[in-house]
Copies of this chain bind each other. A is one copy, B any other.
């Protein structure tokens, strides 16, 4: 094992999976000067990712976060590809964002283990699975850990670094240095925990907000208003859940309601289901707890009711 590896040694990242998270992770790395291969099996996903990355980079320039030249250069550092062997052969670090199925993740890492050089560090962006669930399948467990991003990484710039029991300490140290290198605040978990750190807290907040609404204590807008008014945040839990997507919120809530046999969680899941049944998926289809692009909570005077 190369124990000399530092964040500077990671010049090229392979992002596997070009969905929402993979796209944003790829762009975040590119914004900090890294070359990125963005791999997906779906040509449509790659084309959509390429398009979205250009749109995001252009919006950074429009909002003055970057010069137009910097934005163009950052987007150009992301190379969408369907050639996994070529991309794997040059990767210093892999960030995997495929669906949350440990068997699928294990198969992909096993394939990457054959294709990548020995130096390549493997990371999963899973937010619900533990790295130990598929560490052995990676074929290089000592060079594997979770590096879990939040969206969008240029604003919500915190990453969980979660090792499993066989991750080498120097790999944890490398991932901490790498996180700083790409503008992220690393939170190192002392041991595995399926809720990670921030997500465990956000889930608790969202669950309490859903319970208040499901039990009819207060309506969605008043619940967000109470949170925003005291915490002085521009968004409350229902606005955040609209960003996450109501299908995702329902899936997680339904899973735990079933797993724990908890009636309160079941009522929360049913409350979200009611919105989904009326075609309200959240921000992504323009209708969730609020209507977009001009949700009530963002309007002047919202706090005053």
Q: Given A158-B226, A185-B225, A208–B203 Cβ distance below 8 Å?
A: yes
For A191, give its contact among B158, B217, B233 (CB under 8 Å): B217
- CB of A105 within 8 A of chain B? no
Q: Does A215 lie at the interface of the complex (its beta carbon under 8 Å from any beta carbon of B)? A: yes
**Known A150-B230, A185-B225, A185-B303; contact A201-B212, beta-carbon cutoff 8 A:** yes
CB-CB under 8 A from A226, the residues of chain B are 158, 160, 185, 187, 197-198, 201
CA–CA, A203 and B209, complex, Å:
11
Chain B residues within an 8 Å CB radius of A47: none
A200 touches B190 (CB 8 A): no
Indicate whether A115 reaches chain B with its CB closer than 8 angstroms.
no
Residues from chain B with a CB closer than 8 A to the CB of A222 are 187-188, 197
Are B205 and A304 touching (Cβ within 8 A)?
Answer: no
- The answer to the question of A180 belonging to the interface, with a C-beta cut-off of 8 Å to chain B, is yes
In A192-217, the 8 Å CB interface with B consists of 193, 195, 197-198, 200-201, 203-205, 207-209, 211-212, 215-217
Measured between C-beta atoms, what is the minimum distance from A157 to chain B in Å?
6
A237 adjacent to chain B (CB < 8 Å)? yes
A3 to chain B, nearest CB (A): 23
Number of copies of this protein chain within its complex: 2
Chain B contacts for A201, CB-based, 8 A? 205, 208-209, 212, 223, 226-227, 237
Cβ of A64 under 8 Å from chain B: no
Number of A residues with CB within 8 Å of any CB on chain B: 46
> Is the C-beta of A48 less than 8 angstroms from some C-beta in chain B?
no
Known pairs A185-B229, A225-B185, A226-B197; A190 contacts B205 (CB<8 A)? no
Chain B residues near A80 (CB-CB < 8 A): none
The answer to whether A190 touches B204, judged by C-beta atoms less than 8 angstroms apart, is no
A218 interface hit (Cβ, 8 Å): yes
In the complex, A186 has a CB within 8 A of chain B: yes
Pairs A-B, 8 closest by C-beta atoms: A204-B208, A158-B229, A193-B217, A198-B226, A204-B204, A156-B230, A201-B208, A185-B229
Using a CB–CB cutoff of 8 Å, the interface residues on chain A facing chain B are: 150, 156-158, 160, 180, 185-191, 193, 195, 197-198, 200-201, 203-205, 207-209, 211-212, 215-219, 222-223, 225-227, 229-233, 237, 303-305
Contacts A158-B225, A195-B208, A198-B226 supplied; 7 other A-B pairs, CB < 8 Å: A185-B225, A185-B305, A190-B218, A193-B215, A201-B208, A231-B231, A232-B233
